[in-house]
Structure 1
Amino acid sequence: MAGRPDLFDAVVMADERFHEEGYQEGYADGSGLGLEEGRQLGTAQGARIGSEIGCYRGFACTWRCLLDSGAPEKDSRKRKVLEALMELIQIFPYDDPTYDKLHEDLDRIRGKFRQLCSLLNVQPDFKVGVEGSGLSF
């Protein structure tokens, strides 16, 4: 009798066996869905950040052209802040999603943008929506 499986043991342990099999199947399915959901969220967040920085860059490039056509001695502080903003945008790590100071650098860019808007006496309204993003004044 030592070589034969016990029928009562198989019946009694069926609940535990099915529970373990269900857990393993659910874990595998959940892991796959979690990766896909994470990929979608990362893509959406990356697009939102890229759109925001793109608007800041377009704003800065436009104001650089406008300030270049004006009197240089009057706008030296504006130019200095504008160049600092352009430098922050230029060194931003667009293609490194694992960069650990991404949010700190983004906050620095936002702060410099607000400072520039204050110096230029411009009231921006940056919006990211379903239909796209935009910067209005």
Structure 2
Amino acid sequence: MEPVDIDKAFDSIVFAEQTELDQGYKEGHEAGCTEARAVGRGLGFQRAAQLASEVGFYGGFAQQALAQLAAADGASDAASQQLRRARPLLLGLTRLIERLPRHNSRDSDVSALLDTVRAKFRQVCAVLKVNPTAGEQKEISF
């Protein structure tokens, strides 16, 4: 039998509670990080889906308006004139949407660009005399 260092034996008894606390903290921290990652991933996916739906609506709106403008080429009614005035704004909106990053990037300021897209959409709606909140949904469900 090996000789036992009496100081180590007493230290292990005296510090038993602290050792258990440290081990519990470490295990709890690891479990919390794992759970937080899963919750964060779910929230990120949900928010990305909402933003993609919003930007997709803006892009579809611009494409539809540009298609109507192309179809009404040469017409002189009031609606066609409004579309012609909105054409540069619609093209600008389309360009802004194309500038949005398709993947996560720490270099791009997505929120500032998204605010610009929203402002451009409101500007297009003002020129076309369309209510920008008419088809807005408060909640997305799948």
TM-score of the superposed pair, with normalisation by structure 2: 0.80
Query: For residues 52 and 99 of structure 1, what CA distance do their matches in structure 2 show?
Result: 22
Amino acid corresponding to residue 127 of structure 1 in structure 2:
Q
Give 3-state SS (helix, strand or coil) of 2:6's partner. coil
Residue of structure 1 equivalent to 2:64: 62
Q: Deviations over 1:61-84 (max 9, x none)?
A: 111111223348934431010100
Identity of aligned residues (%): 31
Counterpart residue number, 1:50: 52
For the structure 1 residues 12 and 115, does the alpha-carbon distance in structure 2 shift closer, same or farther, using more than 3 Å as the test? same
* Among 38, 59, 71, the residue aligned to 1:36: 38
Structure with the higher fraction of residues in strand conformation: 1
SS at match of 1:89: helix
Give the match's secondary structure for 1:129: coil
Task: Say whether 1:93 aligns with 2:95.
Answer: no
Unmatched tracts of structure 1, length 5 or more: 133-137
Counterpart of 2:28 in structure 1 is: 26
- The letter of the residue matching 1:87 is R
> Cα distance 1:97–1:51, how it changes in 2: closer, same or farther (>3 A)?
farther
Residue type matched to 2:102 in 1? Y
C-alpha displacement of 1:24: 0.5
Q: Which has the larger radius of gyration?
A: 2
More helix by share: 2
TM-score (structure 1 length as normaliser): 0.83
The Cα shift of 1:8 comes to 4.3
Deviations 1:81-131 (A, max 9, x none): 010001111121122353431001101100000000000000022225142
Task: Say how many residue pairs are matched.
Answer: 132
- Alignment match, 1:135: none
Aligned to 1:131: 141
Q: Secondary structure at the match of 2:101?
A: coil
